[in-house]
Amino acid sequence: MNLQTYPMDRHICHYSIRTFSEPIEKVSLHWIEDKSSPIDYLLDSEQNKSVIYKNEFTPSLFDIEIGNYERHIIKWFNENYTVLDLEFIFERTITANVLTVYIPSSLVVTLSWIQFWFDVEAVPGRMALGIMSTLTIMTQILTNYEKAANHVTAVDIWLLVCLIMVFLALMEYAFAYTMSHYYDIDGNLKAKNSFKKNMSLIVREFRSTKHNSHHNKKSTEENNLFKIVTENTVPDNKENSCEERMRSMTELSEIIRCLVKSFNEMNVRLEANCCDTGFGNLLAQQLDSKGFTVFASCLDPESKGAQDLLNNCSKRLKVLKLDVTNDEDVKEAVNFVTTNLHNNNLWAVVNNAGILHFLPIEWGEEGVDVYSRQLNVNALGQVRVTKAFLPLLRKTKDSRVINVESLAGRIPMPGISSYSMSKFAVRAFSECLRNEVKQFDINVSVIEPSVYSTGLTDYNLWIDDFQTKWKETPEDVRRDYGPEKCDVLHERIDAVMATSKDRPQEVVDAMIDSVTNVTPKPYYYVYGLEERVMTTLLEALPPQFFDLALNEKIYFPLIKLFKNKNRI
């Protein structure tokens, strides 16, 4: 018997009967007791038929079947012997092991890795979950060891792998918890750990600059400011005397004064489009309050949003007209920005323009005007603006392009095919752009929000738009869809609006981080845990299950679970 593959082992039992007195025609095998056996087979031979009867009795641990069956004659000296040879094949049933070992251990491993979703500071919960998972797997190993053979089997290897996975989950948390004391969530060194490293560097840099001439003082301070931010050398701790410490404190006060002066004198230039409303308007206001020189391009410079920017922001903020679908407008915007840079460099371009039509593919007038317009604004508009401003961005080290995408660019939904196409295009464009311009030290970031309450998601505009397009739809198409399709689309719009968030500041915070961070992320995913889980599942599902998940009978009840959960 070979038990190394337990519980998927298979055994063969050879059975042989020899007789001297009976001819081969009369040799057959019958189960004597109750004329029954655990075998349900009809055994045929050329000369005779031998039936082995079946009973309800079957060993619970094995499935039994007949292997080779043969009747033949062997010769021993001068006599002939009739021989009946057959094989019983015992194949272990693994149902019990699946239910008692494999499924429970898989669930324990899955449960142990769920702790990755816990906050890193949730020490009691994560430790309790990790230790409980480890002890559960150890109990299973010991229980199985009492039943199994004295050598390693397949189930032993399975349980050992499960134990390693659970242990790695604990080690991951220990590592994450330790690193959380040194780095923030964006991977930047925390101030309390970098302060000592940078302080003596600040002192040394200041000492090296304070003896320079007054003519070069301003530029030197600005250069030293960037050295302070980027360098990460270990300080010298040689100044131990009281006199030296007093002198250092005096110099430190001068350093702070110079740093503040440098920040005030450094106007970081930034161009952001679609600042009439929504994210762009908030971004322009907040960057202006942080001291940036902002070129806020608006479709209509006379709109209320544009006028609010002029009235509420500093003189550093400038409003200009820009239609991202118009090549001449883009050229004029570049000339305006170039003229107003005043020999300074452009730091960042934020592409935020976008429109959204919520309607099925066949609705509306014949042709592809809806698709052309959305692609022209959402995708080609970003391409036009980016290409036009790249010559200015190449002059600035570590400059950046920020493109606003959407969750619809990864999960296409019924009713927004044209919008999803345009956002897929933005994602592809950003990926290619990142790899092409990294040689010029230009960073490319993508902001990917879910549904937020902005001018783009105006409920009344969506309803008016799809009702207008329904009236423009050819009669034969309306007849095939039927008026009930309007109700379904109306319900889908209601479901989307129910999950929209009233916290646009979350998206603006991601935009500001992509503008100000020394090492901006390639992607900023701005949505909650529920949307992350649903997005991951939908991307992993086969197409059939993906389509099923978006069916109205499943989609709408699922949306209701999260209804109003994201609202304040």
Instruction: Tell me the catalytic residues.
Output: 419
CB of 6 within 8 A of CB of 102? no
d(CA 384, CA 353) in angstroms, rounded, equals: 12
**Would the CA dihedral through 311, 316, 322, 324 be positive or negative?**
negative
Going by C-alpha positions, the residue among 519, 512, 521 that lies closest to residue 286 is 512
CB of 403 within 8 A of CB of 272? no
Q: Taking the chain, what is the end-to-end CA distance rounded to the nearest angstrom?
A: 67
Residues present in the chain in total: 568
Burial class (CB in 10 A: 0-12, 13-18, 19+), 449: buried
- Sequence-distant (6+) residues with CB within 8 A of 130 are 112, 115, 166, 169, 170, 173
Question: Distances in Å between the alpha carbon of 263 and those of 221, 256, 259, 312, 514?
Answer: 10, 11, 6, 22, 19
d(CA 5, CA 212) in angstroms, rounded, equals: 80
- Helix, strand, coil shares, percent, the chain, to 5: 55, 15, 30
HEC letters along 477-502: HHHHHCCHHHHHHHHHHHHHHHHCEC
CB of 220 within 8 A of CB of 207? no
Question: Distances in Å between the alpha carbon of 65 and those of 69, 84, 90, 165?
Answer: 11, 17, 7, 38
Locate the DSSP E strands across 442-556.
443-449, 523-526
For residue 167, what are its two tokens?
């242990």
Fill in the amino acid letter for 5.
T
HEC letters along 119-132: CCCCHHHHHHHHHH
CB of 425 within 8 A of CB of 375? yes
